[in-house]
Amino acid sequence: GNSIEGNSTFGNVANAIEEQDALDWVKNDKRRMLHVVYRVDYGVDKYDIGDGFGHFGIAAEDVAKTINLIKAKGGKVTREPGPVKGGNTIIAFIEDPDGYKFEILERRLTSEPLCQVMLRVGDLDRSINFYKKAFGMDLLRKKDNPDYKYATAIMGYGPEDENAVLELTYNYGVTDYDKGNGYAQVAIGTNDVYKTAEAIKLYGGEIVREPGPLPGINTKITVCLDPDGWKWVFVDNVDFLKELE
Ligand code: GSH
């Protein structure tokens, strides 16, 4: 059952067996990234995007062609198509009218064109550990780029060609970022927001909204911050499907 009474679903934090239970539960929960929210509100004409939020990744079969179309429609291209520095993937960067960056990545047609969310973090191993244990994500790949003084980790719920993933970027020596006020949150579906919140607390995440139904629509959610303060919302899978009806 749910831990509505405030008892820990997974028992005493100090108990290694209970901790293993939490890990197993998180690992077997039915999770996927649902959507990303960034702010574009009525009456607000400027956001501070800060320097911590990276970009949204969009998969395209032909980046050059996509960029030409974007230019033809008056879009702002900030990095022309070409191989990524230190690699082979053809990429380009564009900015939407509010200054949010999008990386266009060349790859085979995928079921999820919105393929990544890039966030900058101050300690890559701390973040990898958190997203593995508290969120149950897999570390899909990790790459150090000493020539350009950064390292990245790609994490998610399943293979990159089928799922939107989280790209964590660590810039050598940078431990703090200004998160601005533009980024809101990324949403993840879960079968149990109560157990989700317990597991997050167990692994050092901060719960900023205790699990429970939202007034009015009754969708159960819980909201947390990762070790760098990036906000994530977990949404009950069944409630979320009802919202879409
Ligand atoms: N200092 C960079 C940042 O914080 O954005 C490190 C991350 C980075 O450089 N990422 C690659 C990139 O943007 C993409 S994985 N490359 C720029 C280019 O190839 O022009």
Domain locations in the chain as residue ranges = 16-35+181-244, 50-171
- pLDDT score of 16: 63
| 30 C-beta closer than 6 A to ligand 1 | no
Identify the segments of the chain with pLDDT beneath 70.
1-17
Q: Give the pLDDT confidence score for residue 4 in this predicted structure.
A: 37
Rounded CA-CA distance 11/19 in Å is 8
- Per the CB < 8 A criterion, the answer to whether 117 and 186 are in contact is yes
Same fold for the pair 16-35+181-244 and 50-171:
yes
CB 189 within 8 A of CB 232: no
- Which among 124, 130, 131 is positioned nearest to 156, based on CA atoms? 131
Which CATH homologous superfamily contains domain 16-35+181-244? 2,3-Dihydroxybiphenyl 1,2-Dioxygenase, domain 1 (3.10.180.10)
Pick the catalytic residue: 18, 61, 103, 112?
103
Query: Which of 51, 90, 91 to mutate to test ligand 1, by most ligand atoms within 8 A of the CB atom?
Result: 91
The reported pLDDT for the residue numbered 14 is 53
State the first-to-last Cα distance of the chain, in angstroms, to the nearest integer: 26
Question: With 0-12 CB in 10 A as exposed, 13-18 as middle and 19+ as buried, what is 161?
Answer: middle
Per the annotation, the verdict on 206 as an active-site residue is no
Q: Is 172 touching ligand 1 by the criterion CB < 6 Å?
A: no
pLDDT at 197: 96
Q: SS3 of 189, please? A: strand
**84 CB near ligand 1 (under 6 Å):** yes
Among the atoms of ligand 1, which is closest to the Cα of residue 167?
Answer: 15
d(CA 67, CA 222): 38
User: Cα 245 from chain centroid?
Assistant: 25
**Cβ of residue 171 lying under 6 Å from some atom of ligand 1:** yes
CATH architecture of 50-171: Roll (3.10)
Residue 150 CB less than 6 A away from ligand 1? yes
Which segments within 45-111 are labelled E, that is strand?
53-60, 76-83, 90-95, 101-106
Q: 171 C-alpha vs ligand 1 centroid, how far in Å? A: 10
ipTM score for this prediction? 0.97
